[in-house]
Structure 1
Amino acid sequence: MRNISDVIEAHLKQIIDRNKHKTVEIKRSEIAEQFSCVPSQINYVINTRFTPEKGYHVESKRGGGGYIRIQRMVVNSKNRLIDELIELVTPTVEQRVAIAVIERLYEQEYISVREANLMIRAIDREVLALNLPLRDELRSRILVAMLRALKHN
């Protein structure tokens, strides 16, 4: 059974996919009420599932008429996407962000599931058994090298 975060994420992504502008504007309290959860659960979903490395831009306006706008970033070319991802992971990158970048490449069908798994294994903290911040810097260099290889492939 899926947890509430998965259900909320799927609901928001479905709305975004149906919208021609790939955008959804929500009121946190309304979504929380719809799913019978606390508003902080909505914050958690947005902060962890709708990040730049996953291809989303989030904007919020607080106050009585406040809203949260989630927009799927649309990149028109593989090379442009890879350039943006390289910028995002340079000069250091945490493992969770690196994995999100790889998952985005897979979702956009730029890499296969096998390639994604190989990339994820190569940048794992157990493989890069170094102290921080050196580990995140090395992970960045490895990921950038893989991204550049994809760009010129």
Structure 2
Amino acid sequence: MPQAMDSIDRAILRTLQREAKIQNIELAERVGLSPSPCLRRVRLLEEAGVIERYAAQLNAAKVGMGLTVFARVWVKGPDEETIASFVEAIMKLPEIIECHMLSGDCDFLLKIVAADLDAYRRFRVEQLGRIKSIRDIKSDIPMQKIKDTSELPV
């Protein structure tokens, strides 16, 4: 990470989170720098790992993945082998777009996308349900998306 991020670094990060394809000249103008120092700062943020990658955010419904399901997963045991087996299995399933290990009631929370409820049911039975390290799965289907952002408050 850069030694200390200042207000210009934070302005660069806020802008890039919203508009990753912005031209350096326009970015520099927005944050109050000339193009060369602006590009240098962006490169330093990339090299330090503050900016991990650039990506296009897709409309899930328009690419045929209009259903989101949250699945709470309990594994058979807390041992390293069981967890590693579970992680290895889910990493192969592109329908799982997020996986979080939790403390609390369940062991993992998965965010899964599917075309519709029937496609999720098939995925749940034919893919997820066959992972040997899973003891139980509870699925939650959101009724309405209220907030969806990947922007960090910098």
- Does TM-score exceed 0.5, indicating one fold? no
Structure number with the higher helix fraction is 1
Of structures 1 and 2, the larger Rg is shown by: 2
After TM superposition, the score normalised by the length of structure 2 is 0.31
Structure number with the higher strand fraction is 2
